[in-house]
Amino acid sequence: MVNTKLADVLSHALSAPLFALYSLIIIYAANSAAYSPLPACLAILIGGVFLTILPVAPLSLNVLKGNVDVFVSDRRRRPKFYSYAILSYLAGALISHVLGVKILTIIHLAYFFVTLSVMIINFKTKISAHASGIAGPVTYIVFFLGLSYAFLYLILIPVAWARIKLKAHTIQQITLGTIVAVIVTFLTCFIMYDVLLY
């Protein structure tokens, strides 16, 4: 019972939307000028709105109405909620680009491409959004701040344990979510870092 409760707490605390916010704060803590020319508080606010609040707003409303559980266990119902998130990430990328914040633009694009990939894979097989929601941000943190931050991948261990404990995912689904997020995020960062000229 205690283990199940802990797994549930970890699943919520380390969900993709919340970890997006954590990642923005980690980047700022490591490099206070990372979001130049915007003040860091404004950049984090923009990221918080388009990466954390708006992507889950439709899901939250449906959970409150009792239409779906908070983790959308039935993968057939996930594409609709992925679509809302994808639109939010794209809007965040466009706003960040207009404001001239390269790193924030790339982060939003990474979320856009990873979520699009996860949504497409979801039509064929179940994939862990929790794992991709940790692996993707850690990958762009490592890309921007260096390999010394690779230890953050260890966060995947308690996330994997929690999702398996709750019978939400198998180790294969967690592995798939991790691999997809790492590859797509790295490619997005690598390509877009040179494409986006400010």
The whole-number average pLDDT for the span 45-53 is 97
C-alpha 105/C-alpha 57 separation (Å) is 21
Is the pLDDT at 63 greater than 80, yes or no?
no
Answer left, alpha or beta for residue 167, where phi above 0 means left and psi between -120 and 50 means alpha.
Answer: left
Lowest mean pLDDT among 10-14, 70-74, 97-101, 193-197: 70-74
71 pLDDT more than 70: no
Ordered alpha helix ranges (H), the chain: 2-13, 16-30, 40-47, 57-64, 78-98, 102-122, 129-145, 156-165, 171-195
- Across the chain, what does the average pLDDT equal? 92
CA distances from 137 to 17, 24, 77, 171, 186 (A): 11, 9, 25, 20, 10
In terms of Cα–Cα distance, which of 22, 27, 52 is closest to 40? 27
Domain locations in the chain? 2-195
